[in-house]
């Protein structure tokens, strides 16, 4: 099951503010039903309850490419070096939390992807290798 959280969204059409469930983390070995949405960049689809306007939120998603020991952060806004460096520091902070996480982190590759085309290629390769 994907990791989700609630976020506040302001409708681009009617300006109504509402809460929506969004995906923060996906494990491809468990969340096969989300592959299509990831490939199209539509993983965080929300709909305004007032005017019914559909939007796709431009936010980061962490994707676990298990069993490949690869974690990818897809963040279209991370094109600037400072943003990517901040994501890397956050990742290192998490894996440095304890000895177990340090061991997992040393065996896991972490990448930051900013372009949907690159993510699509990675997912296609994953599907070919793991069905």
pLDDT at 110 over 70: yes
Q: Which pLDDT band, with edges at 50, 70 and 90, does 2 fall under?
A: low
Per-residue pLDDT reduced to its tens digit, 15-42:
999 999 999 999 988 887 787 788 777 7
Q: Give, rounded to a whole angstrom, the gap between the first and last alpha carbons of the chain.
A: 18
CA distance 16 to 129: 44
CA distance 24 to 2: 7
Residue at 29 is within a domain: yes
Task: Name the domain count of the chain.
Answer: 1
Structural domain for 104, as ranges: 25-43+59-130
**Do 48 and 20 form a contact (C-beta atoms < 8 A)?**
no
């Amino acid at each position: 099951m994907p990791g989700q959280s609630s976020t506040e969204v302001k409708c681009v059409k009617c300006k109504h503010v509402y809460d929506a469930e969004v995906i923060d983390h996906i494990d491809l070995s468990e969340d096969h039903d989300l592959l299509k949405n990831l490939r199209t960049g539509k993983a965080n689809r929300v709909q305004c309850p007032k005017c019914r306007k559909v939007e796709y939120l431009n936010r980061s998603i962490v994707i676990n490419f298990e069993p490949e020991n690869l974690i990818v952060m897809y963040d279209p806004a991370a094109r600037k070096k400072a943003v990517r460096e901040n994501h890397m520091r956050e990742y290192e902070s998490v894996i440095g939390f304890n000895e177990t996480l340090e061991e997992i982190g040393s065996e896991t590759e972490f990448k930051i992807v900013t372009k949907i085309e690159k993510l699509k290629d990675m997912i296609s390769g994953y599907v070919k290798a793991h069905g």
